[in-house]
Amino acid sequence: MSRKPELVAWLVIWSSFGVLCLSIAATFLGISWYREAAFDSREARLSILSGTVLTRGNNLPAWVSASQNMALVEGDIIKTDHTSQALVTLFDHSTVQLFSGSELQIVTLVSSRFGSARQSLALSQLRGKARIGVAPSPNTEKRFVWFTPQGVVLLNEGSFSVNVNEKSSQVRVHERGSAMASSSGGVVGLKANERLEILAGRAPGLSQPAKEELIFNGDFSQGSAGWRIGNELGFPEGQDIEGTATLVLEEGHPAFRFSRRGSKGTHCETYIYQEINRDVSDFSTLMLSLKFKLVHQNLSGGGYMGSEYPLMVRIDYRAVDGGDTFSVYGFYYQNEAKNRTDNGLLAPQDVWLQYTVPENLKTLIPQPRQILGVRVSGSGWDYESLVSNVSLVGE
């Protein structure tokens, strides 16, 4: 009986010691957890590239004009109109270029306060087009999330573009980088030079090559679908002599034949035209190619003004400065009268020729921002030519 108080005392001592140890451990674990979990909010900077850019703070009703190099914080929204562009530089040196007609919200910009270097960035693109450059972060754990109305994309270091409209989001990985896109329970990986379309309410489909054909039915395998046929006549005395654009089978392949005879030395242009209306800001290259054959021309070269050829291709586009313009490529096989041949290329007669314009159309001056349409035609006095496989590929 006399040893019971001693036993109780020892139990109390050891219990207290255990509680103390647990308290010390809990304190150290709490400090460790805090060091790992503590994050500091960071800022981004806005550069106005052109026009008027608007911003709005989180839960604020009014848009205000942005100022050059203004700070952006979580919740801020940036909006560009049809003439403006902006550049957002994030705290980790990643960049986001917003093209015209776009809207972007800063969701999360944080980095770890203590412990291992960690960064978390999240942005939500509500509409329009953005070009994203995710900067490398050596020795840093970084999570870079891109939200769209149709899905979520996890971006790794590299170069990307995202185009958002009411129905879909198109994600493109450029020359370097990788991404994971998810929507409605499905996840798809993307690597360099691949693209993916995310549709609302659907799991993402398979990735595709980044190269994209902008012309619909350029091989005419669906007849004249997507193309409008017409004539532009010149002098009054030739108004009754129209050219024809006829879909034919040539060597087993569909082609359009442009033909006009009995012109009385008057001008006409017989054309097929397709509206495209595609923003090409995120493309690095834009290459035009076609297959054609020149059969007949009685107006030498490109005519008196260097603007009439038995076969021509015209690309209508809106430039980065907002103006509408075009670029013309003509083909001829004879120039006996030594007429001008502005934008003209000498080609053999009665031979099918596969031709790719050597210049990248993205290097045109002024530079294209939006391709409005493509027009293929026969032009001059009397002419006959055939065309197939009209292609405009962006990458």
The neighbour count for residue 176, using CB atoms within 10 Å, is: 14
3-state class (DSSP) for residue 11: helix
Question: What residue type is 355 in one-letter code?
Answer: Y
Q: For residues 130-146, give the mean pLDDT.
A: 92
The residues that bridge with 328 in the sheet, in sequence order, are 314
How does residue 17 score in pLDDT terms, banded at 50, 70 and 90?
low
- Alpha helices per DSSP H over the chain: 4-37
Whole-number pLDDT of residue 1: 46
pLDDT at position 117 over 50: yes
Q: How high is the mean pLDDT of the chain?
A: 89
Whole-number pLDDT of residue 35: 46
Gyration radius of the chain's alpha carbons: 32
Whole-number pLDDT of residue 26: 59
pLDDT at position 37 over 60: no
Identify the residue with better confidence: 294 or 40: 294
Residue-wise pLDDT tens digits, 350-393 = 999 999 999 999 999 999 999 999 999 999 999 999 999 999 99
Residues in the chain: 395
Could you tell me the domains of the chain?
39-210 (2.60.120.1440), 228-394 (2.60.120)
How does residue 8 score in pLDDT terms, banded at 50, 70 and 90?
low
Q: Give backbone dihedrals phi and psi of 320, rounded to 5 degrees, phi first.
A: -65, -20
- Of 174-188, 260-274, 317-331, 371-385, the least confident: 174-188
- Of 38-42, 187-191, 288-292, the least confident: 38-42
Answer yes or no: are the C-beta atoms of 334 and 326 closer than 8 Å.
no
3-state class (DSSP) for residue 236: helix
Q: For residues 277-283, give the mean pLDDT.
A: 88
Percent pLDDT > 90 in the chain is 67
3-state class (DSSP) for residue 52: coil
Q: Give backbone dihedrals phi and psi of 363, rounded to 5 degrees, phi first.
A: -95, 5
Whole-number pLDDT of residue 204: 77
Whole-number pLDDT of residue 34: 43
- Of 86-95, 111-120, 281-290, 312-321, the least confident: 111-120
Q: Give backbone dihedrals phi and psi of 21, rounded to 5 degrees, phi first.
A: -60, -45
d(CA 50, CA 83) in angstroms, rounded, equals 7
3-state class (DSSP) for residue 27: helix
pLDDT at position 16 over 90: no
Whole-number pLDDT of residue 210: 81
Whole-number pLDDT of residue 91: 94
Residue-wise pLDDT tens digits, 184-223 = 878 999 999 899 999 887 877 788 888 889 999 999 999 9
Whole-number pLDDT of residue 247: 96
Q: What is the largest CA-CA distance in the chain?
A: 136
DSSP characters for 287-305?
A: EEEEEEEEEEESS-TTTTT
- Of 30-39, 245-254, 327-336, the least confident: 30-39
Question: Tokens at residue 140, please?
Answer: 């840093």
How does residue 33 score in pLDDT terms, banded at 50, 70 and 90?
very low
d(CA 147, CA 88) in angstroms, rounded, equals 16
Whole-number pLDDT of residue 234: 74
d(CA 26, CA 22) in angstroms, rounded, equals 6
Whole-number pLDDT of residue 115: 56
d(CA 267, CA 330) in angstroms, rounded, equals 16
Whole-number pLDDT of residue 80: 95
Whole-number pLDDT of residue 32: 46
Identify the residue with better confidence: 348 or 50: 348
3-state class (DSSP) for residue 141: strand
pLDDT at position 4 over 80: no
Of 83, 84, 56, 51, the C-alpha closest to 70 is: 56
Residue-wise pLDDT tens digits, 293-321 = 999 999 999 999 999 999 999 999 999 88
pLDDT at position 31 over 50: no
